A and B are shown apart, each in its own frame.
Chain A
């Protein structure tokens, strides 16, 4: 028995498609401690859903090993299903059942006794803020309420582990915050182990640890803090008077004659710029750009967030793949 709530070692999933073999998950290794909230983050098509499904035993694995609470994903499928809650990404609860009927259905199926149901279902509905909507058809709930109902349904058998695949997809920011508030309560009160797939970086920040997944593998696997530290340099934020031009110049710093520029990212109308030493570079930069007739508005140094770290790490990964070094060399110079 492993002491991990969720474990994967060298987990691989290859799909056979008409176009050939697709490796959706490639030698993924992750270990989630009991009570931990782990974020599986990555862009679309990274393999988050596939990894989750294989770990749950919904898909056959092509290689490696995985288990939940020590139960093997393939062999002990039903032991896992009795102890785990899951919200699928393309999640759908029977739309023509009411909120209450949905809860009761999943409770029955999970073998929750009627006595326990009587107490637990109202609690969960109140917890999810659905207490007033018990008679409403699930199909008529708003997107956010549907997700909360899905969460409530997945918790009805008091699982020790929940796997949530993009649980806040298509939900407004307020509902998203509420949803995470619910997760936080569960974590604190019940010690629930949570694995959450998400493309949202603000959600990644809420996890104890995250795995940054690209093309089926982790390019980073650590606490959000440590991951942010992996980014080279320090981050400046500003709004240039002429964004396209500035971007072009900064992407080719030798033309500008300023050293120590590591990376530039767009952020709406603003630019995010990684430099080696702000104290040294800010004056140089302002001077060089004003020589080109560009002024910088609201220039300041900010803490890199997961978002910047994420883009930076992915970019570094891509460039290492393409031509080995360029930016990393600049970074360490």
Chain B
């Protein structure tokens, strides 16, 4: 048995290495996707083109606009006389945010009545959210600074005493981008691993059937599960190389801290990789051609990504959709990845998801092995 698995494995390895172009693509896809995601996300929400309508033009208003720009989220790309000008600029898609400061800002601030109007283009959900968050945070920070200045000036505390140690802790909040990437990298890891393992396995089997080698393999004493294992191992290796690439880039390039136990994470990822392999095998038994396979895979990846909570939180989903999500292994793995990478928790907090994933793997491999027959019909 081992001998036959070894024979299949050798064959698969030779074939994989011989087709080095494909291998190169398979190994670089995660990198490319990670960079696309990483930069697209951090660039979109920073440097939001902003129209400024400052009707005060006094020291306070100028300082406030300065603070907004200094945060890095807002770029004052145009100055307009009034609120209508801001709206017009937004209508023309010249800006995505607008700041309107009414007359006598300094005086109002001094009286503690300072008000600023922030206008955000709501058609872009990510931008509007970060604009809103950033503006709120910058304003609060700015207000705190003002308050501190006031208090200091009034001689209630000395300069070196800090009344509100808020400035530092508030700064972390100012960095919602980093949070996005923290939130996204575990999910992306899940998505990419899933897509690759499913695709590699399914196409490996379907190709064998399409070019007709499967019949020649089936008449040898190779058992279906031996063929399965032999075909899976190179894919597991590729999947793990990709996993290391993503985690490595995430940690060393994007500076996302890896909070948890890396060893534990590898083991749980292996479990997850198996779920993808099982799913791939199942797809390969259902579909007859490469085209069908690829279509099925993209469908499953898309639906699985949405329902798995990669982008949208699962708890907001209607009940039945929430449960349908359990069909996809990503649903079980994303909380695991987030738990270990971002939160740094151990198995004691994740055992529910881990158990669910383990059961999933066992079930899908059984179903796939039964569907993967030793006969042609």
Contacts and interface: CB of A to CB of B under 8 A. Distances in A.
A59 interface: yes
A81 B220 contact: yes
Interface in B217-232: 218-223
B234 to A, nearest CB: 14
A90 B208 CA distance: 12
B219 A109 contact: no
Interface residues of A, number: 31
Contacts of B221: 78, 81-82, 109-111
Contact of B212 (A78, A86, A88, A101): A88
A267 interface: no
A57 interface: yes
A105 interface: yes
B376 A58 contact: yes
Contact of A111 (B3, B10, B377): B3
B172 interface: no
A226 interface: no
Contacts of A93: 213, 216
A109 B5 CA distance: 8
B8 A109 contact: yes
B15 interface: yes
Contacts of A108: 3-4, 6-7, 10
A57 B11 contact: no
Contacts of A56: 219
A94 interface: yes
Interface in A57-102: 57-60, 77-78, 81-82, 84, 86-88, 90-97, 101
A101 B220 contact: no
A176 interface: no
Given A77-B374, A92-B213, A96-B15, A86 B219 contact: yes
A48 B187 CA distance: 53
Contact of A60 (B213, B216, B375): B375
Contacts of A77: 374
A77 B253 CA distance: 55
Contacts of B376: 53, 58-59
Interface in B174-224: 211-213, 215-216, 218-223
B111 interface: no
A26 to B, nearest CB: 17
Nearest to B16: A96
B21 interface: no
Contacts of B113: none
Contacts of B19: 96
Contacts of B218: 58
B14 interface: yes
A137 to B, nearest CB: 8
B319 interface: no
Interface in A89-142: 90-97, 101, 105-106, 108-111
B375 A57 contact: yes
Contacts of A96: 14-15, 18-19
A111 B3 CA distance: 7
Contacts of B11: 94, 97, 101, 105
Contact of B215 (A60, A78, A88, A105): A88
A266 B15 CA distance: 50
Interface of A: 15, 53, 56-60, 77-78, 81-82, 84, 86-88, 90-97, 101, 105-106, 108-111, 150
14 contacts: A58-B215, A59-B376, A60-B377, A77-B374, A78-B223, A82-B221, A88-B212, A88-B215, A92-B212, A105-B7, A108-B3, A109-B7, A109-B221, A150-B216
Given A105-B7, A108-B6, A109-B220, 15 more contacts: A58-B376, A59-B375, A60-B375, A86-B216, A88-B215, A91-B212, A92-B212, A92-B213, A92-B215, A96-B15, A97-B15, A101-B14, A108-B7, A108-B10, A150-B216
Interface of B: 3-4, 6-8, 10-11, 14-15, 18-19, 211-213, 215-216, 218-223, 374-377
